Amino acid sequence: MTLDPGAGARGAPARPVRAHHSIGSFEPELGGALPEVTLAYETWGELSEAADNAVLLAHALTGDSHAAGGPSEGYRRGGWWHPMVGPGLPVDTQKYFVVCSNVLGGCSGSTGPASVEPGTGRPYGMRFPVITIRDMVRAQRRLLDDLGVRRLALVIGGSIGGQQTLEWAVEYPDFVEKAVPIAATGALGPQGLGMSEIGRRAIMADPDWQEGDYYGTGKRPDAGLAIARMAGMMTYQSAPGQWERFGRRPAGRPALHREFGGRFEIESYLHYQGRELTQRFDANSYLYLSRAMDLYDVAAGYESDQEAYSRIEAEVLFVGITSDWLFPPGEVRASAERAQRAGAEAGYAEIDTLSGHDAFLKDWTELTDTIKPFITGA
Amino acid sequence: MTLDPGAGARGAPARPVRAHHSIGSFEPELGGALPEVTLAYETWGELSEAADNAVLLAHALTGDSHAAGGPSEGYRRGGWWHPMVGPGLPVDTQKYFVVCSNVLGGCSGSTGPASVEPGTGRPYGMRFPVITIRDMVRAQRRLLDDLGVRRLALVIGGSIGGQQTLEWAVEYPDFVEKAVPIAATGALGPQGLGMSEIGRRAIMADPDWQEGDYYGTGKRPDAGLAIARMAGMMTYQSAPGQWERFGRRPAGRPALHREFGGRFEIESYLHYQGRELTQRFDANSYLYLSRAMDLYDVAAGYESDQEAYSRIEAEVLFVGITSDWLFPPGEVRASAERAQRAGAEAGYAEIDTLSGHDAFLKDWTELTDTIKPFITGA
């Protein structure tokens, strides 16, 4: 669990590198202690002599370090930002040393509630401390320091990746040159908080959750996690987009659950999305990461959000998505304006789409058009 | 279970009358059979000699026949449309004979899945047939016939009450003079369908649901029903309204569920709303009634919605709510326009509010201003 010699560090090969790295002990912002934290990460490209050409990609709630590249032995799916990261792409791996790490609290190689608690020999479960977006960022900073990175040319991500991006600019002003928080604001609104809590209640109400100690029992709260995912998916799409994609069409797929007066395509879709997540994600991680999303408030620890935003030295481009109802574009724009008012060099751009919140994971052309000029300075 | 002599019929007292009435056997539209159906209902005011001054109030998903009046032995809460129904109010009980019946499939006195199946001696559970909005309307028609009503001066209601209202105008054109469907369209969109299904999955995934046969077992799927209610509540409110009412304030109420990184007011509110419903509502009824909402399509059984709308002889006022995301105002307006195009005398009015879908149960002044002129013809 120590740093792979040379893995992703200066002089590393251009091929993606996947590794685990121990950052040692960690003290989460809200209390508790983690005696040993490992982060799983991948890198693409080479770190420059000045060690200032690094890009950090921050993944969303159920994402992982596999941001680019195709399926591999470790990842049955291709990278979540595959069309954005590579030679000649907006995040150009010929120019940048690109790093993506699974967040603290996650379940794709980094230390999280499914990890074994040192000393007890059993998984943390709900004894894992509450993790914040700032904790994720501080852990990432330690990884980047150990990789020899001296400055981030860019940090970028959507949703809770966007929250991390914004927090990077606030927490480490002199370390970040450009930041692109996508579909994220200084603080999630009550509608998003409510939808999050519906998902967590579904997990916690599942008897197989067993107060979080389901590891090794042969039972997992899959039913609850699937419902949480269904609720999440609703917030990732827009009503007009769903009219276009699903309408009121009957389902064409085999039933996963009891049929009741027929079944609409949107229901079948949600059932499949729910089941898919249970095959790759830990329910406790879902609880912790969704809670981190809820708790994030850029003003936390400062007098006000204005004081927080005034710390920013990076050039920031807030990107809103017209049909996003988790982080509505009006609220993203308002965050950009408040950052501007605090003196930050903050811009706002909007992606016009019916894709909803998830546009940052699918509307590649619009994303490229919006982001590439900001990154390249063209 | 037979008609109370004189209860609500011609010459009935002006005081509210609460009764149960058997409409005999019933054949639901989508199949199955109910050998014996009882409807619980209340009436206010007196039926005229011509028996044409009746008003039917159609309640929403978790509503009941108690539309007006204060708490009583049967109802711990006041009537759900209390400020709209009474002497001098928009639905004037000095002028009209007002009827409100608990819907078929409900759990507040009318026959539903919790009712005992004749012949078996045990509750129907999921052996209850799938019920449609049209079934509810046909059952109401039988009740009105038995009460001696010859014509409805008005039928009015919100949400699935609005769907019933619209269906009344289509199904019984020569029986309805005016119809006011509020916050309802010809067919629910996929976002609403998805939120409905999240609630049903939460109920069905609760082991205490026991495939619907929980009656008499000492266990009920309260946890699942509470989550369903939480999902429902999200669709009844608007994002800006929730910002105003809850923001990101911490909860001030005692915890009903495990605390996890603190608790926001919106979460506490949802928890309480969830628990409240479990104390007054049957989970299987929730499944059936939410399914009826989903399945409603004004075009069902016709060549098109145009053919359905062309049947309407009543004067119809569709009422949209600006911040409604269950039945978005644009879709309500589109339903009105399609009805107009089909030749119906259909108008559209909009209530401008942050209250969301639930505005029809709280924005009394705006409702009165919108509806009263249409009802009185002023």
The Cα B357–Cα A357 span in angstroms is 22
Residues in B touching A248 (Cβ below 8 Å)? 187-190, 193, 297
Q: Which of residues 122-181 of A touch B (CB under 8 A)?
A: 130
Q: How many helices (H) and strands (E) does chain B have?
A: 10, 8
Of B337, B358, B277, give the one whose Cα is nearest residue B62. Answer: B277
Whole-angstrom CA distances from B142 to B137, B313, B319 are 9, 20, 27
pLDDT of res. B69: 84
pLDDT of res. A320: 98
Six token digits for residue B42: 């209340």
CA atoms within a 13 Å half-sphere pointing along the CA-CB vector of B136: 38
Closest residue of chain A to B191, computed from CA coordinates: A239
Nearest to B270 among A197, A202, A294 (CB): A197
| Reported ipTM | 0.94
Dihedral of CA atoms B51, B54, B56, B57 in degrees, nearest 10, equals: -150
Rounded to the nearest angstrom, the minimum Cα separation between B190 and chain A is 6
Cβ pair B60, B103 in contact under 8 A:
no
Six token digits for residue A362: 């699918």
Q: What is the spatial order of strands in the sheet that A345-351 belongs to?
A: A17-26, A34-44, A97-101, A54-58, A152-158, A178-182, A315-321, A345-351
Q: Is B164 exposed, middle or buried (0-12, 13-18, 19+ CB in 10 A)?
A: buried
Rounded to the nearest angstrom, the minimum Cα separation between B302 and chain A is 17
pLDDT of res. B73: 65
Catalytic residue, from A324, A335, A358, A363: name it: A324
Residues of B assigned a catalytic role: 159, 324, 357
Which one-letter amino acid corresponds to residue B206? D
Of B252, B346, B276, give the one whose Cα is nearest residue B308. Answer: B346
A261 touches chain B (CB under 8 A): yes
Would the CB atoms of A190 and B239 count as touching at under 8 Å?
yes
Closest residue of chain B to A246, computed from CA coordinates: B190
Note the pTM of the prediction, 2 decimals. Answer: 0.95
Q: CA-based angle B81:B84:B87, to the nearest 5?
A: 125
pLDDT of res. B15: 47
Would the CB atoms of A239 and B189 count as touching at under 8 Å?
yes
A116 touches chain B (CB under 8 A): no
Rounded to the nearest angstrom, the minimum Cα separation between B343 and chain A is 25
Would the CB atoms of B260 and A30 count as touching at under 8 Å?
no
pLDDT of res. B72: 67
Catalytic residue, from A159, A285, A290, A335: name it: A159
pLDDT of res. A259: 87
Kindly report the backbone phi and psi dihedral angles of residue A99, in degrees, each rounded to the nearest multiple of 5, phi listed first.
Answer: -125, 135
Residues in A touching B207 (Cβ below 8 Å)? 207
Residue A68: count other Cβ atoms within 10 Å of its Cβ.
22
Of A179, A223, A234, give the one whose Cα is nearest residue A201. Answer: A223
Of A150, A145, A182, A148, give the one whose Cα is nearest residue A165. Answer: A182
Q: In chain A, what are the domains?
A: 17-188+297-376 (3.40.50.1820), 191-291 (1.10.1740.110)
Of A190, A303, A196, give the one whose Cα is nearest residue B237. Answer: A190
Cβ pair A324, A192 in contact under 8 A:
no
Rounded to the nearest angstrom, the minimum Cα separation between B325 and chain A is 9
- Three-state DSSP class for residue B171: helix
Residues in B touching A271 (Cβ below 8 Å)? 201
Residues in B touching A134 (Cβ below 8 Å)? none
pLDDT of res. A6: 33
- Three-state DSSP class for residue B354: coil
pLDDT of res. A13: 35
**Is the CA virtual torsion A54, A55, A61, A66 positive or negative?**
negative
Nearest to B202 among A188, A193, A227 (CB): A227
Dihedral of CA atoms A287, A289, A292, A293 in degrees, nearest 10, equals: -110
Nearest to B227 among A30, A198, A325 (CB): A198
Cβ pair A349, A335 in contact under 8 A:
no
Six token digits for residue B353: 């509010």
Residue ranges of chain B with pLDDT lower than 70? 1-17, 72-76
The Cα A170–Cα A213 span in angstroms is 36
Q: Which of residues 203-232 of B touch A (CB under 8 A)?
A: 204-207, 223-224, 226-227, 230-231
Rounded to the nearest angstrom, the minimum Cα separation between B297 and chain A is 10
Active site residue A357: yes
- For every one of its 378 residues, what pLDDT tens digit does chain A have, with 9 covering 90 and above? 333 333 333 333 344 567 999 999 999 999 999 999 999 999 999 999 999 999 999 999 999 999 998 776 666 678 999 999 999 999 999 999 999 999 999 999 999 999 999 999 999 999 999 999 999 999 999 999 999 999 999 999 999 999 999 999 999 999 999 999 999 999 999 999 999 999 999 999 999 999 999 999 999 999 999 999 999 999 999 999 999 999 999 999 999 998 899 999 999 999 999 999 999 999 999 999 999 999 999 999 999 999 999 999 999 999 999 999 999 999 999 999 999 999 999 999 999 999 999 999 999 999 999 999 999 986
What is the distance, to the nearest Å, from the Cα of residue B173 to the centroid of all Cα atoms in its chain?
21
Would the CB atoms of B223 and A205 count as touching at under 8 Å?
yes
